[in-house]
């Protein structure tokens, strides 16, 4: 490995981001460089900070969960050892970074070794690590890419393609490539059967994988021939970012003006001179779209035509291309011409309204008084998905519910001035979180949930996007049905609970009774809440979003029950447990706030 490689290394993630869009590649590098934003041009610093803080760029660039991928990889090693029995294996990750390349080459030349885990190769400045490299006949190699996914998604083929190109450039012969995924239909019984859990998909360029695979095969030649050019371009971007000097003008990549905003991202435009109608491999809209919309087209996403809810991207692009950048640019007769749906019309009304809201007062008042009968239970679950099923009766990526929060409004005229007040005469709070004293806590959760959702009598159970809460109830019922006779009473109780669930989001999305300019076309609670009550905030919490909550629990549960770590840090877990409770508490309190705001708008006092 030469000195150039040591200073600038290009990874598979860099490559995949670049072939999607070179601007996305640039933004990807900003992810861990928050401290350097002050050295960027002002507009870049502002836009990138906004993308990270408001749109959560860390989540945007996540495809496969890293921790889950590591866990699945560990089990995959045992799977390959079972498939290739009596074959000696080596794990390159057992060696230091300086030795990985040489140890890989030694293993390839060692006739006694048949399986190489985490095989590491360098070509120019590009590095690749192969989950499992297996020796075939006549000196050829089999590439296995393992994914913590229940489907052999076509986009993963580019992971394999990157590895295949590097090995071919280095002179290796590739017999076949596989995408290994998890069998979503496998259900854990008494013992984990790896041969049933893991599924090696056919090689990515085979026609049996469908139309998208044929497109990949067509582009393989272009990517192979232009690989060095692509790597050089990525090095430019990476070096420019690392130097933080004249980033916007140091390359044509940044100085160009995208005068015509193209539909979707500029995927593969380098190769075919055009852009497809979206991209079936990566998605029609790049994560960096809002950044480019402002930087290269001087249009804020806020209240732009791209913020319309429920409209397909081509229609939004048509509006933009015909001169309409913002919702307020559209006149009322254009609503008919563009055939906007009711939600889009309501949003248009809110954007044109002096107070920034649209409301059907009488209809909303009737809806609230008819559906929200006291006591009102505000419910929120937190759950985590594991690729490797750990509890009996579960399958890959079943959601394990580990926490809930319930706020019960037992009479009208409740106020929420004190966010830290846990119980008063009007508002009761109940909660549960698994304490990790036992691996399977589902019965404990079920019993407490049934009690808490009936403690003040029957009343509507309110969720925000109720499909999630209903799915969690269904999961618990499915678990109880493993022994129907024993659990009949609990099954009936959960079905009764499910029948009482209503959706707070319906006020905005389904019933179309209220909209707000500040929703920016979204009906998620993270948009609705701050628009209705800017004072309500998750800032200051150690855990501020659902993804962070999930990953916190996943880490400690995995440490204790998957890895069985003898040095499990109980004190750290107890601290995290308290932080999880605080976060989930605010989720249901937020629903109380939204409900009370709706009541206030229509002057409903009962």
Does residue 62 have a pLDDT over 70?
Answer: no
Distance CA 154, CA 214 (A): 10
Question: Which 3-state string (H, E, C) describes 159-201?
Answer: HHHHHHHHHHHCCCCEEEEEEEEECCCCECCCCCCHHHHEEEE
* Residue 495 tokens, joined: 């079905």
The neighbour count for residue 564, using CB atoms within 10 Å, is 9
Query: Environment class of residue 29 by beta-carbon count within 10 Å: exposed (0-12), middle (13-18) or buried (19+)?
Result: middle
Residue 115: band (very low, low, confident or very high) from pLDDT cuts 50, 70, 90:
very high
Does residue 302 have a pLDDT over 50?
Answer: yes
Detail the DSSP E strand segments found in 281-322: none
Distance CA 310, CA 521 (A): 9
Distance CA 362, CA 513 (A): 9
Does residue 605 have a pLDDT over 80?
Answer: no
In the structure, how many helices (H) and strands (E) does the chain have?
Answer: 24, 13
Q: Which of 193, 91, 99 is nearest to 133 (CA)?
A: 91
For tokens 């389904």, what's the residue?
A: 510
Of residues 567 and 103, the one with the higher pLDDT is 103
The neighbour count for residue 304, using CB atoms within 10 Å, is 24
The answer to whether residues 375 and 408 touch, using CB atoms and an 8 Å cutoff, is yes
Q: What is the mean pLDDT of residues 248-257?
A: 36
Residue 577: band (very low, low, confident or very high) from pLDDT cuts 50, 70, 90:
very high
Q: What is the mean pLDDT of residues 311-316?
A: 81
What's the maximum distance between 2 C-alpha atoms anywhere in the chain?
Answer: 81
Range scoring the smallest mean pLDDT among 256-260, 344-348, 365-369, 377-381 = 256-260
DSSP string of 106-152, one letter each residue: HHHH-TTEEEEEEEEEEETTEEEEEEEEEE-GGG-EEEEEE-SSSS-
pLDDT at 437: 92
Q: What is the mean pLDDT of residues 398-423?
A: 73
Residue 538: band (very low, low, confident or very high) from pLDDT cuts 50, 70, 90:
confident
Q: What is the mean pLDDT of residues 29-46?
A: 42
pLDDT at 247: 39
pLDDT at 219: 59
Does residue 293 have a pLDDT over 70?
Answer: yes
pLDDT at 44: 43
* Residue 595 tokens, joined: 């409900």
Of residues 590 and 423, the one with the higher pLDDT is 590
Distance CA 517, CA 421 (A): 31
Q: What's the mean per-residue pLDDT of the chain?
A: 81
The answer to whether residues 480 and 494 touch, using CB atoms and an 8 Å cutoff, is yes
DSSP string of 211-238, one letter each residue: HHHHHHHHHHHHHHHTHHHHHHHHHHHH
Of residues 213 and 436, the one with the higher pLDDT is 436
The answer to whether residues 564 and 605 touch, using CB atoms and an 8 Å cutoff, is no
Element of type H or E holding 515? strand 514-516
Element of type H or E holding 104? helix 97-109
| pLDDT tens by residue, 355-366 | 999 999 999 999
* Residue 125 tokens, joined: 């400045």
The answer to whether residues 374 and 352 touch, using CB atoms and an 8 Å cutoff, is no
Phi, psi (degrees; rounded to nearest 5) at 408: -110, 120
Does residue 275 have a pLDDT over 50?
Answer: no
Distance CA 494, CA 492 (A): 5
pLDDT at 8: 82
pLDDT at 430: 96
Does residue 316 have a pLDDT over 90?
Answer: no
Of residues 116 and 254, the one with the higher pLDDT is 116
| pLDDT tens by residue, 212-234 | 555 555 557 778 889 999 999 88
Distance CA 357, CA 579 (A): 35
Phi, psi (degrees; rounded to nearest 5) at 401: -75, 125
Percent of the chain clearing pLDDT 70 (strictly above): 78
Q: What is the mean pLDDT of residues 446-475?
A: 96
3-state secondary structure of 317: helix
| pLDDT tens by residue, 149-160 | 887 777 788 888
Residue 236: band (very low, low, confident or very high) from pLDDT cuts 50, 70, 90:
confident
pLDDT at 298: 80
Element of type H or E holding 146? strand 141-146
Q: Which residues contact 312 (CB under 8 A, 6 or more apart)?
A: none
Does residue 205 have a pLDDT over 60?
Answer: no
Q: What is the mean pLDDT of residues 376-400?
A: 93
Range scoring the smallest mean pLDDT among 41-50, 227-236, 296-305 = 41-50
Distance CA 397, CA 471 (A): 13
* Residue 498 tokens, joined: 């499910």
The answer to whether residues 469 and 501 touch, using CB atoms and an 8 Å cutoff, is yes
* Residue 552 tokens, joined: 């916190």
Instruction: Tell me: cis bond preceding 375? Omega within 30 of 0 counts.
Output: yes
pLDDT at 35: 33
Of residues 3 and 158, the one with the higher pLDDT is 158
Residue 540: band (very low, low, confident or very high) from pLDDT cuts 50, 70, 90:
confident
Distance CA 131, CA 178 (A): 11
């Amino acid at each position: 490995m030469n000195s150039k490689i040591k200073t600038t290394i290009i990874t598979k993630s860099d490559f995949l981001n670049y072939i999607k869009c070179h601007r996305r590649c640039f933004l990807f590098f900003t992810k861990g460089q928050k401290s350097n934003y002050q050295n960027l041009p002002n507009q870049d610093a502002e836009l990138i900070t906004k993308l990270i803080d408001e749109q959560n760029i860390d989540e945007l660039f996540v495809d496969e969960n890293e921790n889950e991928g590591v866990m699945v990889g560990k089990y995959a090693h045992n799977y390959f050892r079972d498939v290739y029995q009596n074959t000696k294996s080596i794990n390159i990750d057992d060696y230091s970074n300086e030795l990985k390349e040489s140890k890989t080459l030694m293993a390839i030349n060692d006739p006694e070794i048949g399986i190489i885990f985490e095989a590491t190769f360098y070509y120019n400045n590009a590095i690749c690590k192969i989950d499992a490299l297996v020796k075939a006949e006549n000196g050829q190699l089999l590439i296995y890419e393992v994914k913590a996914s229940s489907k052999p998604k076509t986009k993963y083929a580019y992971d394999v393609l990157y590895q295949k190109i590097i090995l071919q450039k280095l002179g290796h012969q590739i017999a076949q490539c596989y995408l290994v995924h998890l069998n979503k239909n496998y259900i854990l019984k008494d013992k984990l059967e790896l041969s049933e859990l893991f599924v090696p998909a056919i090689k990515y360029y085979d026609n049996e994988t469908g139309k998208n695979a044929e497109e990949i095969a067509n582009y393989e030649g272009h990517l192979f021939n232009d690989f060095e050019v692509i790597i050089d371009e990525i090095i430019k971007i990476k070096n420019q970012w690392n130097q933080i000097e004249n980033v916007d003008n140091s390359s044509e990549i940044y100085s160009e003006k995208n005068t015509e905003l193209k539909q979707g991202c500029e995927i593969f435009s380098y190769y075919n001179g055009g852009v497809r109608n979206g991209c079936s491999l990566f998605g029609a809209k790049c994560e960096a779209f809002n950044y480019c919309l402002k930087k290269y087209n001087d249009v804020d996403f806020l209240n732009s035509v791209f913020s319309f809810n429920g409209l397909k991207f081509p229609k939004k692009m048509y509006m933009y291309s015909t001169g309409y950048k913002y919702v307020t640019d559209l006149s009322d007769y254009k609503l008919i011409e563009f055939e906007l749906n009711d939600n889009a019309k309501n949003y248009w009304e809110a954007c044109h309204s002096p107070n920034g809201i649209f409301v059907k007062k009488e209809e909303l008042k009737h809806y609230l008084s008819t559906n929200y009968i006291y006591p009102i239970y505000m419910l929120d679950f937190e759950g985590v998905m594991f690729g490797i099923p750990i509890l009996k009766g579960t399958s890959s990526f079943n959601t394990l519910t580990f926490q809930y929060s319930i706020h019960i409004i037992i009479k009208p005229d409740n106020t929420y001035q004190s966010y830290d007040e846990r119980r008063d005469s009007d508002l009761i709070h109940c909660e549960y979180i698994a304490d990790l004293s036992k691996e399977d806590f589902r019965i404990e959760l079920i019993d407490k949930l049934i009690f808490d959702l009936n403690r003040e009598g029957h009343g509507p159970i309110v969720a925000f996007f109720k499909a999630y809460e209903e799915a969690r109830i269904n999961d618990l019922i499915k678990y109880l049905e493993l022994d129907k006779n024993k659990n009949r009473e609990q099954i009936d109780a959960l079905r009764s609970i499910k029948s009482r669930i209503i959706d707070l989001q319906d006020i905005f999305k389904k019933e179309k009774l209220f909209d707000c300019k500040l929703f920016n076309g979204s009906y998620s609670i993270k948009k609705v809440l701050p628009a209705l009550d800017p004072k309500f905030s998750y800032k200051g919490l150690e855990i501020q979003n659902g993804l962070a909550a999930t990953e916190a629990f996943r880490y400690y549960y995995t440490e204790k029950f998957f890895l069985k770590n003898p040095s499990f840090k109980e004190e750290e877990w107890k601290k995290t447990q308290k932080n999880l409770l605080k976060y989930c508490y605010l989720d249901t309190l937020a629903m109380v706030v939204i409900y009370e705001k709706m009541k206030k708008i229509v002057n409903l006092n009962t």
